[in-house]
Amino acid sequence: MISEICIFDMANRTTRCLLRADWHLEAPNWSRDGQELIVNSKGRLYRMCITDPDRPMAEIDTGFATQCNNDHGISPDGQSLVISDKSETNQSTIYTLPYGGGVPRRVTANAPSYWHGWSPDGAELAYVAKRDAGFQVYTIPAEGGPERPLTSDFDHCDGPDYTPDGAWIWFNGEKAGQVDLWRMRPDGSKLQRMTEDTLVNWFPHPSPDGQHIVYLAYPAGTFGHPPDLPVALRLMPAAGGPSEVLARFRGGQGTINVPSWAPDGHAFAYVRYPEAA
């Protein structure tokens, strides 16, 4: 599979391809200092220099965790990484470790758990987990502790991400076969449906200024979030309302699973998967 790591510039609405690789790369996180992207490939995490994309990517030491998936991120203070890895439990489990690399510390006692958001104050993690029926949204103290279910009646949930003021958690939720974007308070109250169209909408990410949401839209009728379909990145007001198409390409799973905005909000990173020539 061909992977292209891209930067979308919000000012001029253009895409710049940083790297075209003949191996599978996923889910860029933009570092807090604005200098690098964190991506995953084949169970490992890597750093990629934004200003010098030709520099070889550097593997991050994640200790025993060598089966990381594409649900990883960076703490608000930039000092820690969070990963979702199945090396220890054979199911995705959430860990944190120093940003520079090191021994992972387990956060979630139960599995499977897939990380997606870190509260702006650094106190909590938001994630999706399957405990009984379908995947629902949970939160847990970043240092570990009892988990708290925030949803219960969706067929499937994914991608919970906090707004920069910590007032809302956005996520995608499926009911009766339709996947829309939703938001709720961090305690699970005031649940609101934010899209209502025929598209299959996934992975909402609030912009750093809190004004917009970028998300991935699949064609109507798509089941799950496959990796290789014609998709669109769309932008909508955080208060709700019509969205605009920013880019169309082949992608899906791995494109924008996790928060990938630049710290100043001028751009965001994503991955597309063009067909080989």
Per-residue pLDDT tens over the stretch 161-213: 999 999 999 999 999 999 999 999 999 999 999 999 999 999 999 999 999 99
Residue 238's region, left for phi above 0, alpha for psi from -120 to 50, else beta, is alpha
Q: What is the pTM (predicted TM-score) of this model?
A: 0.97
Q: What is the DSSP string of 11-25?
A: TTTEEEEEEEESS--
Question: Among 129, 271, 120, which residue's Cα sits nearest to residue 206?
Answer: 120
Is it the case that residue 86 has pLDDT exceeding 70? yes
Summarize the confidence of residues 80-90 as an average pLDDT. Answer: 98
pLDDT at residue 275, rounded to an integer: 84
Is it the case that residue 102 has pLDDT exceeding 80? yes
Q: 133 pLDDT band (50/70/90 cuts)?
A: confident
* Token code pair at residue 78: 């930039």
C-alpha R_g of the chain: 17
Q: Which domains does the chain have, with CATH numbers?
A: 3-272 (2.120.10.30)
Q: 277 pLDDT band (50/70/90 cuts)?
A: low
* Helix (H), strand (E), coil (C) string for 242-266: CCEEEEEEEECCCCCCCCCECCCCC
Is it the case that residue 71 has pLDDT exceeding 80? yes
Q: Could you report the per-residue pLDDT of 37-47, keeping only the tens digit for each?
A: 999 999 999 99
Is it the case that residue 1 has pLDDT exceeding 90? no
Alpha-carbon span 161 to 233, nearest angstrom: 17
How confident is the prediction for the chain on average, in pLDDT? 97
